[in-house]
Every structure is written in structure tokens, then in C-alpha cells.
Amino acid sequence: MEREWIMDTVVAVIAAMVGIGAGFGGGFIIKNALLKRESNSAKSVSERIVGEAEEEKQRLLLAAKEEALQERRNAENEARERRRENQRQEDRLTSREAGMDKRQETIELREERLTEREQEVEEASDEIKVLKAEETTKLEGIAGLTLTEAKDQIITTAEGEMEHELAKRYYSLEQHMLGEVDEKARKVISLAIQRLAADVTSETTTSVVPLPSDEMKGRLIGREGRNIRAIEAATGVDLIIDDTPEAVTISCFEPVRREIARLALTALIQDGRIHPARIEETVEKATKEVDETIRRAGEQAVLDAAVHGLHPDLIKLIGRLKYRTSYGENVLQHAVEVSRIAGMLASEIEADAEVAKAGGLLHDIGKALDHEFEGSHIELGDEIAERYKLPLKVKAAIAEHHDDDRGSVEAFLVAAADAISAARPGSRRDTVELYLKRLEALEDVANSFEGVERSFAIQAGREVRILVEPGKIDDIAASSLARNVVRKIEENLVYPGQITVTVVRETRATEIAH
């Protein structure tokens, strides 16, 4: 039984193997048939492509031949055109060469003629030189002058005539300008002055303190002079106790110390207790009082001048000007006045009014320290402006308000306002000695010029009238004389404000009837 089962299994396996082999064989036959069919199809396609390529080749060859023929025709046509153009160029060059030959012949003929003319001109020039030399010799003999002397005389005459003509033209232009400028200047300045009303104050370098009785002088002096020494040491002033009844004079060039001494001395006299300890206490209290007064005066001046943004320490320096005078004029009042005038002038001509007001208020700020430090008030003012970082235009107005050359309109306006404030009546005063010396110096400057008959310094030295000899100075020369006198005054003299120079020329004809 088991054996039959094995036999059946073997037979089944063999049958399966036979079936697999038959399947492989049939598949191979079918695959070969399909490959053969595909090969035949590909061969027919390739033959068709080869045929189309051959046709395209023939077509391209024909097109290339036609294009080559066309290019050849174009090249031949271009070559023929170039040959014709070359021929035309050659014909033109030939004609031009012929023209150049003719022109060369003409130029040669002209050169020959020019050579002949040059020879003729040289001969004529030599002849002219000979004739000129003979004529010069004859003229020198007639005139009695050499050629150089004659030239010098002609040049001298021409210079004189030119100087006269220039002076005449300058005089004419000056009169024309004055007719227009003076009217505008008067209008601007008058408007500024009309808008300003200021009082006049004057101070000196001394202060007088009244005493209730002459007995108080002895108490001020103290035993062996200890009180007066203590007062002078604490305040830095000199007390003058002379024969003036019931008064003590305080002398000091530094106005702040003089004011401290005045307040302290007044307080001591009112209190009646006068001894060194009390003196020191009173002076310290007076110093604080003066410092407060200075601060308030500076703030009030800044407010009156409408100037903003200043450093507090700079405002205190402005306040110190309350106790400073110049030519008898209070400097703080003068500074405020200059600030207001400069601001008004600036607004009239559309300049920077803020810069003009600040420059006017601070233009004399150096005078607040000129008793304590070396240097002019201009130099000290410039240092103060640098220290407090003031704007450049304001600094320039401070530094240039006494200069002839100014770098800005505002600096010029500050200088003009300074002159206006200083020149108004009653603003300043001099001692009699200085006053007379200044008048004499002005007259000496005017009399130093040739043709001046007499001169008079009038209006407190603010004007010089010059009478000239009419035979030596004409109307045009009078204008030149006025300018020269002004220039010499500016160079040699120091003076406040402005000085007007007026030249007067008068011609009189007198006859007597018999």
C-alpha cells in the first residue's frame, strides 16, 4: 500500500516536470515569434526614416547651392561697386592734386611779394627811426628838456589831473549816496531813539557818608586808629576823614568794594557800636547785601533788555556793572540802553534782533572785571564769552564793537547803538582837564593839514569845524580834507562816541566905491 503511494507520487512529480518543460518551450517559441515581428516593424521604420533623411539631405543641398550662388552674385556686385567708388576717389584725388599744384604756385608768388614788401618796410622803418631821432633832437633843443624829463613832466601832469578827476567823481558819488543813505539812516535811528527814553545818572570814584556829628569821626578812628585800620582792611577802601564837617569820604577805584564800605559804614554809624569785631560782622553783612543787590540788578537788566538763556553767573557779572561807571555814565544802564537800541535797529532792517540785543547787553561785560584782572575790557569780555559758551555772533559783537572791521550786521548795529547811547546829551561827562586836552588834540589834528586856516572843536568835542583858505582848497579838495582828518583822528586819538568833521570854505569879493 505504501509502495503504491510512493509510485503515485513519483508519477505525479514526473508529470509536473514534463508540464513545466513544455511550458518553457512554448513560451520560448512564442517569445521568438514576437521578437521577430518587432524586428521586422523596426526595420521598416528605420528604412522609412532613412528615406526621409535622404530626401531632406537632397533638399538642404539644393538650398545651400542656391544660397551660395546668391552670395556669389552679391559679392560680385559689391566688388564692382567698390571698383567704381575707387575710381571716383582716384579721379577726385587727381583733381585735388592739380588744384594743390596751382595753389602752391600762387603761394610761392605771394611769398615773393611779401619778401619784397618786408624789405620795403624795413627800409621805411630805418628811415622813420632816423627821422624820429632827428625830430626828437630838434624838439629837445627847442623845449630844453630831454625825452625822459618830458615823460616825467607829462606823467606828473597826468597824475595831478587824474587825482583831481578821481576826487571830483568821489565827491559827486558821495553827495549822491548821502542824499539816499542819510535819509534812511536818520529814519531808522530816529525811530529807535524815539522808542527809548532813559534817565541820566553819573557817579564818581568816591562816596560820601554823612555823620550825625563831628564826634563820630573820633569814634571811627578809634584808639590809636584801630577802627579805621580795621574798616580799611576789611573793605579794601581808603577812608578820608578831613576837615569836612559831619562827613566821611570813601575812596576806591573798585566800585563794588566802595559800595560795601558805604553800607557797612552807614550801618556802624547808625548802630553806634564801633570796634574791630563789630566792623568785621557788619562788613560781612554788607557784602551779602551787595551780592544780593548785584543779583537782582542783573536779573532786572536781563528782563529790561529782553535777553534770555544766560548763565546765572553771567547774570551776576552783568549786575556788577551797576556799580561801574565810564566817563561818569553808569555802565549797566548804558548796557541796557545799547541792547534796546541795537534790538530796535535790527528789527528795522530785518537783522537778527536777539543777537543784537544780547550783544548790546554784554558788549561792555569786561568792565565788570577790569579792576581785578589785567587786560582791556574787550579782551576780558572775549574771555567771558568764551567761558560761558556764548553764540559766535554774540561773541563777535562783544569783541568787535570798537573795531573798524566787523564780521556781521549785528556787530555793526551794536557798535552803532553804543555810539548813539554814548553821544546823546548828558550821557557822559569828563573832568575839565581831560575835556580840554581832548579839544586841544582835535584842533591840533585839524591844524596839521595844509590849507587849514583855523579849526574849532565844538559840542563838547563831538564836532570839529575847519575853516580853509579858499585859494588853496577848492570844493572837491575840501571833501578829501574832511576824510583825511577823520582818518587821522581815528588813528591817533581815543574818544567816546563819534566826532563829526565839517570843512567850511568861503570866498569873499570886496570892492570899495569912491
Q: What is the arrangement of strands in the sheet containing 463-468, beginning at the earlier edge strand?
A: 452-458, 463-468, 500-504
Q: Is the pLDDT of residue 150 over 70?
A: no
Buried b (16+ CB within 10 A) or exposed e, 276-288: eebbeebbeebbe
**Lowest-confidence pick of 125-129, 213-217, 243-247:** 243-247
What pLDDT score does 4 carry? 65
Amino acid in the structure at residue 179: G
**Lowest-confidence pick of 181-190, 198-207, 249-258:** 198-207
Buried b (16+ CB within 10 A) or exposed e, 312-336: eebbbbbbbbbbbbebbbbbbbbbb
- What's the distance, CA 229 to chain centroid? 55
The DSSP secondary-structure symbol of 77 reads H
> Which one is predicted more confidently, 177 or 401?
401
Rounded Cα gap, residues 262 and 268, in angstroms: 10
Topology of 432-504 in CATH?
GMP Synthetase; Chain A, domain 3 (3.30.300)
Q: Is the pLDDT of residue 175 over 50?
A: yes
Q: Are 481 and 451 in contact (CB under 8 A)?
A: yes
Q: What does the pLDDT average to over 160-180?
A: 66
What pLDDT score does 199 carry? 44
pTM, rounded to two decimals: 0.49
pLDDT digits (tens, 9 = 90+) for 95-136: 888 888 888 888 888 888 888 888 888 888 888 888 877 777
Q: Give the end-to-end CA distance of the chain in Å, rounded to a whole number.
A: 209
Amino acid in the structure at residue 83: R
Highest mean pLDDT pick, 7-11, 142-146, 425-429:
7-11
What pLDDT score does 273 carry? 83
**Domain 206-423, second-level architecture:** Orthogonal Bundle (1.10)
**What's the pLDDT band for 327 if we cut at 50, 70, 90?**
low
Helical axes 2-143 vs 147-194, angle rounded to 10°: 120
Rounded Cα gap, residues 252 and 259, in angstroms: 9
Q: What does the pLDDT average to over 409-437?
A: 70
Q: What does the pLDDT average to over 420-447?
A: 71
Rounded Cα gap, residues 321 and 388, in angstroms: 18
To 5 degrees, how large is the angle CA 245–CA 278–CA 257? 65
What pLDDT score does 496 carry? 63
306, exposed or middle or buried, with CB in 10 Å at 0-12, 13-18, 19+? middle
From residue 13, alpha-carbon distances to 1, 3, 347, 480 in Å are: 19, 15, 133, 154
Rounded Cα gap, residues 21 and 26, in angstroms: 9
Rounded Cα gap, residues 281 and 268, in angstroms: 10
Helix or strand run (H / E) with residue 455: strand 452-458
